[in-house]
Amino acid sequence: MGDRAKQREFATELEDAQRRLFTYVFSQIGELEQTQEIYQQTCLVMWEKFDGYTSGTNFSAWACAVARNVIRDHLKKQRRYRARFSDAFQERLADMLVTIPAAEMDDRETALRKCLRKLPEDRRQLINACYSGERGVAEVAKSMGRSTRGLYGSLRKIREWLLRCIDRTINTEAFS
């Protein structure tokens, strides 16, 4: 394949996959500025390795696999081993993300924003403190005088509530 054809194919594939790829990186990092840096680094690595990509296969899955390695390298450099998902879970997440239609992702993202606004202020602050990427959950728990286990329990309940809220919001708007 010529250089121009390769560039066009890469640009087209990346344009189609960029939202999923960014969402995947953000789901692993949880902090916007670092996510943007890792996303850019991932795009560079993907370009360098694009000759190894097989045209016609699932570009999003390939991109998430590349991102997984970039994320792993980033975390090693940062020496920030906060709570992190297992490799098996990350692979399942990447597989799931590539199957969600873009319109559904947009709807879920919009619903999440609405649901976050519905959370009581103290719960919103807890979510921000734990997912901003500035401090780990243990550090947040200590600063609040709470046990790490108790804080994880609170976060689980908030995430469950958000998931139900997102589903209700999407279903309500679908029938409006």
Taking each continuous run of H as one helix and of E as one strand, the counts in the chain are: 8, 0
Domains and CATH numbers, the chain: 3-97 (1.10.1740), 102-174 (1.10.10.10)
pLDDT band at 120 (very low <50, low <70, confident <90, very high): very high
Tokens 């199957």 correspond to 99
User: Which span out of 36-50, 97-111, 117-131, 159-173 was modeled with the highest average pLDDT?
Assistant: 36-50
pLDDT band at 81 (very low <50, low <70, confident <90, very high): very low
**Per-residue pLDDT reduced to its tens digit, 28-64:** 777 778 888 999 999 999 999 988 888 888 888 899 8
pLDDT band at 67 (very low <50, low <70, confident <90, very high): very high
Instruction: Judge residue 171's burial from the number of C-beta atoms within 10 Å of its C-beta, 0-12 exposed, 13-18 middle, 19 or more buried.
Output: exposed
Cα distances from 129 to residues 46, 67, 134, 141, in angstroms, run 32, 25, 8, 10
Q: Are 29 and 38 in contact (CB under 8 A)?
A: yes
CA count, 13 A, side-chain hemisphere, 29: 26
CA dihedral of 27, 30, 34, 38, whole degrees rounded to 10: -10
User: pTM to 2 decimals?
Assistant: 0.53
Q: What is the mean pLDDT of the chain?
A: 82
- Among 42, 34, 19, 44, which Cα is nearest to 75's? 34
Residue type at 105 in one-letter notation: M
Percentage of the residues of the chain whose pLDDT score is greater than 70: 82
On the question of pLDDT at 83 being above 60, the answer is no
